[in-house]
Structure 1
Amino acid sequence: MLAYLRKQMTAALEARAALKTDIDGIVKSAETAGREKLSADEQSAFDAKRSELRSKDGEIEDLDARIKDLEEDEKREQRAASILAEQRQAGERRERVTVVSEPETYRKGGQTSYFRDLFRAQMKGDTSSIQRLSRNDREVTDRLERIHRGAEEALQGMEARALTTTDGAGGEFVPPLWMINDYVELARGGRVIADQVRPMALPPGTDSISLPRVATGTATAEQTTQNTAVQDTDATTNSVTANVATIAGKQVVAQQLLDQSPLNMDQILLADLAADYAVKADAFVINNNATNKVGLLNVSGLNAVTYTDATPTTAELYPKVADGIQQIHTGRFLPADKIFMAPRRWAWFTAAVDTAGRPLVVPSANMPQNVLAAMGAVASEGFVGTLQGLPVYVDPNIPINLGAGTNEDRIIILRSTDVIFFEGTPQAEAFRETKADQLSVLLRFYNYAALHASRYPKSISVISGTGLITPTF
C-alpha cells in the first residue's frame, strides 16, 4: 500500500509540475509579445490550468497525509522488531525486555485473536484476555483522537454550542487497531461521497444533533430623509436536526472455532463487516430518506437541474453541469468544490468524441486544449478527473435505478464542507447466552452515524432526468 501511494504521489507531483510549466508558458508568451494582459484565449487557458493546479494540490495533500500515517506505523513496527532482536542477541530474558514502541495488540498475522479474547473476557473473566483488550482500547483511542483532532477543531463557535452526544458509545470493547485502519482504507474505496463531505467524530450521549440556523436576516435601506426612522427588520432563527442512526450486523460462530481453530477469524469477519458497513454508510449519506436522516439526493430545497432527452449527448449535458454549479454560486454565494457521478456516467463522458472521432475527455498529462473534461486517475471509485474546473469523483453507490424507467442515475454537484457526517467508533461484542443451546457465540458489530445535509440546501445541485438513463457506448 505504501509503495502504491508513493507511486501515486510521484505521478501527482509530475502532473503538478507539468501544469506549473504550462501556466508559466502562458504568462511568458504574453510577456514575449509585449502585452501586459493575457488575451481572452490565454486567460481562459490560464484559469483552467490554475483550477487543475488547485485540484492537484488537494490530491497531493491527501496523499501526503496517508503516506505519513503509514510511514509512522511502519517505523513503529520496525523499531519494536529491532529492539526485540537486540535483546534476543544479548541473551537476556524476555521478561526483562523494555520495549519503547510495540506492534498493535491485535494485528494481521498476529498470534492473538480478538474474538477469542472478547469471548473469554466477557464470558469467563479471563485476566490475560481482559488485559489485552484494555491495551487495545488505549491503542485505538489514541489513534482515533489523532484522526479526528483536525475535524473536531473545525467545529467551533455557533455550531460547537449546539453539539450534543449520542447514546451507546460505551461499548464493552472496540475492534482492534488494524481493523480500524482497514475500516478507513475500505471507506476510502467503498464510500467515496461519505469520505468527501466534512467528517466529525460523533460525541456520546444523545439521539440527535441540532444546529441553530439564521432563517431570515436583518435588513438595511436608504434613509428617506434625515431624522426619519431607519430600516428595522428582525432576524429569525430556527434549527436543523440530525437523528442518530445505528448501522449494525451480526455473525454466529461455533464455539469450537473460537476455542480450537488455529486460524483467527478476525481478519475475515471484521474486514467483511467493515466493508459492508462502508457501503451502507455511503448509501446513508447519498440516498437515505427518513425524518432528520435525509441524504443528499432527498434534501428539500436543493438545486434541481433537469436534463430530459431520449437521445442524450455529453454536449447537451455539459451546460446542465454549468447550471448546477452556477446555482450554488447564486444560492449559497460560495463556490461548489466537487462533482460526483456513477462510474457508468463518467465512462460515458470519456467515450464522447468530436466529429473527427477525437475523444473529448483526455488525460491531463497530454496537456489537452479545448476539451470537455480532463482525466486524472483511472479508477473505478474515487477521483477520476476534472470537469469545468472541479474534481470529479465516481461512486458506485449512487443509484442507477431511479426515474420513471428505473434506469436513471444522478450527478451531484456539491459544496462538500457544508455537509457534516458524524460517525462514532465501531463496536464489537460477543454473546454466548442467546445461542447456548447450540454451542454457538453471537458476534455483533455496530456503529452510530448522523448526517447534516440540510444545513445549506443551496449547496447541493442534483442533475436528473431521462438524459441520465443507461448510457450506450
Structure 2
Amino acid sequence: MLAFLRTQLQELLEQRAALKTELDGVLAKPAEEKRALTDDEDKAFAEKRDAVKAKDADIETVRARIDELEEGEARDAKAAELRAKYQPAGPQPTGITVVSEPETYRKGGKASYFRDLYRSQHMGDRTAMERLQRNDAEVSAGLEKRALTTTDGSAGEFVPPLWMIDDYVALARAGRVVADQVQHQPLPPGTDTISLPRVASGTATAEQGTQNSPVQNTDATTSSVSASVATIAGQQVVPQQLIDQSPINMDQILLADLAADYATKLDTFVISNNAANKRGLLNVSGLNAITYTDATPTVGEAYSKVGDGIQQIHTGRLLPPDKIFMHPRRWAWYTVSLDTQGRPLVVPAANMPANVLAAMSDVVSEGFVGTLQGLPVYVDPNIPVNLGAGTNEDRIIVARSNDVILFEGTPRSETFRETKADQLSVLLRFYNYAALHSERYPKSLSVVSGTGLIAPVF
C-alpha cells in the first residue's frame, strides 16, 4: 500500500506542478505589461488558483495516509527490535508447535481478495490492508520459485493472491500451448517498446591472392528489431451486495475465469496478431511460406510439405527447428489416415511402431500429442481454422521456438466504485502486459498453408 500511495503522491505533485505553471502563465503577460488583470484573465487566474488548492488538499490527504502507514511500520520495526533484544537465550518451551501457516487468500478460505481490495481502496480498512500486505509477501516469496515476475508491478496489493497465480499457471498451460512453447523472459519495467540489436550483414573472408596483398575487408552492418508492449485486459461489474453479503468468495470464480480467458487471448496474440512490432507467428514478414494446394489432400502429401518447412529452416536459419504446431483437427486427420493396405499411418508410440509416418503419445485436446519427422507435435485449438479463400483452412507451423521471445509480466487486478456508483456496483479490472519478438529470425518459422489444409473429412 505504501508503494501505491507514494506513486499516487508523486503523480499528484506532478499534476500540481503543471497547474502552477499554467497559473504563472496567466500572470506572465500582465506582469510584463505592468497592468492589472483583464476580466478574462482574472477568471482564468481564479480557476487555476482553485485547482491548485484542490490538488493541495488531495496531496495532504495522501501524505497523511503515508505518514500513518510509515508510523505503523516504524512501530512494528521497533517492537521487533525490542523483542529480539530481550528474547531469552535458547529455545523456550511454549507448548505450541507451528507446522505451517495457511495462505492469507486460499481456496475455500474466509478472506476474500476482492472484498479486501475494495475495502482498502475505498474505505481505508486497515485490517484489509494488512491482509493485502501479507498476501504481497506470500506472492513475492512464491514467485521466486517460478518463471513469473512482479518486476513491472508497482503496488503489491494489485497482485492477485498466490492460489490465483497457481491457477493462472495451470490454466495458461492448458489454454496457451504455442505461447508457452516459445522462449519466455520477464517483461522489463518502465518501457513500452523492447528493441534488440541484430547483425544485418556480416564480415567476410576470402583466399589471399598473393603474399603481401590486401586480405578481404568487409564491414559488418547492424540493425534492430522492436516489439511493442501490448496490454491485455478485461473487466467485470459486480453488485455491491455480492461483495458485502455473499457467503461465497467470488474470487475463485471471477479470477479463474478472467485468467483462463487471458490465457486464450495471449495465445491468440502470439499466433495470429497482425500489427507492426506485434506480429504473431502466422504474420511474420519473410518467413518460409510453403503452399499446399490440393483438391483431394492426403496425409502423405502433407507430410512432404512439413518436410519442406523443416529443410527451409535448416537452409535459411542454419540451425534445426524443434517443434511443430497444428490444430487438433489436423492431427486427428493424421491419426485416422490409412495406407493402401488399410493400416494406420500414425500409431501409439507404446506399440513400438516401425515404418510409420508419425507416432502418437498422449491423447489430449491441446498440448503435446506425438512426433512427426523426429519433431514433437503440439496441438493448439487457438490456431485459426477460418483462413484462406474459402475461410475453411488451418495452418501448420514449424518453428525453432527459442528464436521467438515472449516478454510477459504478472497479471494484476483492481477495483473501482466511482464509475458504477449510481447502480451500487463495483467494477473489477484484470490486466497484464506482454511483448512478442517474433521477427528476429524470420527464417526460423515455416508455415504450411493452402487448400490442402481445408477442413478434413473423416
Amino acid at match of 2:147: H
Residue 209 (structure 1) aligned with residue 194 (structure 2):
yes
Contact 1:166 1:205 in 2 (8 A): no
**Distance in 2 separating the partners of 1:97 and 1:175:** 32
The alpha-carbon distance between structure 1 residues 283 and 97, as it changes in their structure 2 partners (threshold 3 A), is: farther
Match of residue 400, structure 1, among 385, 397, 402: 385
Gaps of 5+ in 1: 1-91, 153-164
Residue 447 (structure 1) aligned with residue 432 (structure 2):
yes
The residue that corresponds to 1:102 in the other structure is 101
Match of residue 193, structure 1, among 169, 172, 178: 178
The residue that corresponds to 2:282 in the other structure is 297
Contact 1:167 1:207 in 2 (8 A): no
Q: SS in structure 2 opposite 1:215?
A: strand
Gaps of 5+ in 2: 1-92
Number of equivalences: 366
The residue that corresponds to 1:417 in the other structure is 402
Structure 1 residue 101: Cα displacement: 3.5
Q: SS in structure 1 opposite 2:236?
A: strand
**Distance in 2 separating the partners of 1:349 and 1:464:** 16
Amino acid at match of 1:143: G
The residue that corresponds to 2:138 in the other structure is 139
Structure 1 residue 169: Cα displacement: 5.0
Residue 457 (structure 1) aligned with residue 442 (structure 2):
yes
The residue that corresponds to 1:27 in the other structure is none
TM-score (norm 1): 0.75
Contact 2:152 2:187 in 1 (8 A): no
Superposition misfits of 4+ residues, deviation over 6 angstroms: 165-168
Residue deviations 1:104-136 (CA, integer Å, cap 9, x gap) = 211111111110110011111111111111111
Residue deviations 1:408-456 (CA, integer Å, cap 9, x gap) = 0000001111111111110100111111111111110000000001111
Q: SS in structure 1 opposite 2:267?
A: helix
The residue that corresponds to 2:224 in the other structure is 239
Residue 222 (structure 1) aligned with residue 221 (structure 2):
no
Contact 2:237 2:425 in 1 (8 A): yes
Residue 470 (structure 1) aligned with residue 448 (structure 2):
no
Structure 1 residue 142: Cα displacement: 2.1
Residue deviations 1:393-414 (CA, integer Å, cap 9, x gap) = 0000000000111000000001
**Distance in 2 separating the partners of 1:169 and 1:284:** 25
Amino acid at match of 2:363: V
Amino acid at match of 1:146: K
Structure 1 residue 170: Cα displacement: 4.3
Contact 1:166 1:244 in 2 (8 A): no
Structure 1 residue 183: Cα displacement: 0.5
Amino acid at match of 1:147: R
Structure 1 residue 98: Cα displacement: 6.7
Residue 316 (structure 1) aligned with residue 301 (structure 2):
yes
Contact 2:135 2:157 in 1 (8 A): no
Match of residue 390, structure 1, among 361, 367, 375: 375
Structure 1 residue 103: Cα displacement: 2.2
Amino acid at match of 1:113: S
**Distance in 1 separating the partners of 2:270 and 2:144:** 23
The residue that corresponds to 1:435 in the other structure is 420
Residue deviations 1:171-226 (CA, integer Å, cap 9, x gap) = 75211111111110001111000001011111210101111111100000001111
The residue that corresponds to 1:354 in the other structure is 339
Structure 1 residue 355: Cα displacement: 1.2
**Distance in 1 separating the partners of 2:399 and 2:154:** 31
Amino acid at match of 1:336: P
Match of residue 243, structure 2, among 258, 271, 283: 258
Amino acid at match of 2:261: D
Residue deviations 1:266-316 (CA, integer Å, cap 9, x gap) = 000001000000000000000101110010000011111111001000011
Q: SS in structure 2 opposite 1:448?
A: strand
Whose radius of gyration is greater, 1 or 2? 2
**Distance in 1 separating the partners of 2:156 and 2:381:** 32
Q: SS in structure 2 opposite 1:293?
A: coil
Q: SS in structure 1 opposite 2:144?
A: helix
**Distance in 2 separating the partners of 1:169 and 1:222:** 58
The alpha-carbon distance between structure 1 residues 171 and 301, as it changes in their structure 2 partners (threshold 3 A), is: farther
**Distance in 2 separating the partners of 1:362 and 1:126:** 61
The residue that corresponds to 1:65 in the other structure is none
Q: SS in structure 1 opposite 2:205?
A: coil
Contact 2:346 2:358 in 1 (8 A): yes
Q: Give the fraction of aligned pairs with identical amino acids, expressed as a percent.
A: 76
Residue deviations 1:298-336 (CA, integer Å, cap 9, x gap) = 001111111100100001111111111111111111111
**Distance in 2 separating the partners of 1:331 and 1:186:** 35
The residue that corresponds to 1:70 in the other structure is none
**Distance in 2 separating the partners of 1:215 and 1:337:** 24
Structure 1 residue 166: Cα displacement: 9.4
Residue 372 (structure 1) aligned with residue 357 (structure 2):
yes
Q: SS in structure 2 opposite 1:472?
A: coil
Q: SS in structure 1 opposite 2:434?
A: strand
The alpha-carbon distance between structure 1 residues 168 and 109, as it changes in their structure 2 partners (threshold 3 A), is: closer
Q: SS in structure 2 opposite 1:290?
A: coil
**Distance in 2 separating the partners of 1:429 and 1:313:** 51
